[in-house]
Amino acid sequence: VVKMAAPNMEERKACWGARDELWECLDRNSEDAAKCQHLRLSFESRCPQQWVKYFDKRRDYLKYKKKLENEGYSPPETTGKS
């Protein structure tokens, strides 16, 4: 059954908590998804599918941005902002 209704507060908290645990696991394990598979499944089961896709893209974006910052290049739109 596909649930189209927006998640309530408890569901959102469960989703975000699962996402944070997964991301922390990936950070600790140098992005080794195999080591975090149980958290991945928890994340996918607690979050609407569109959110899973969004958060995956968001993580890729944040990693890319961090890589640029670490390598000394920052995009023009972030210049001058902390």
Q: What is the mean pLDDT of each run of 10 residues along the chain (82 residues)?
A: 72 97 97 96 96 96 91 62 52
Total number of domains constituting the chain: 1
Domain around 48: 9-53
Q: Is residue 76 part of a domain?
A: no
Q: Is residue 74 part of a domain?
A: no
pLDDT at 45: 97
Q: Is residue 24 part of a domain?
A: yes
pLDDT at 16: 97
Q: With a threshold of 0.85, does the pTM exceed it?
A: no
Q: Is residue 40 part of a domain?
A: yes
CB contact set of 62 (below 8 Å; sequence gap of 6+): none
Compute the distance between CA of residue 33 and CA of residue 44 in angstroms, rounded to an integer: 14
Q: Is residue 33 part of a domain?
A: yes
pLDDT at 81: 52
pLDDT at 7: 79
pLDDT at 2: 55
Q: Is residue 32 part of a domain?
A: yes
What is the distance, to the nearest Å, from the Cα of residue 41 to the centroid of all Cα atoms in its chain? 13
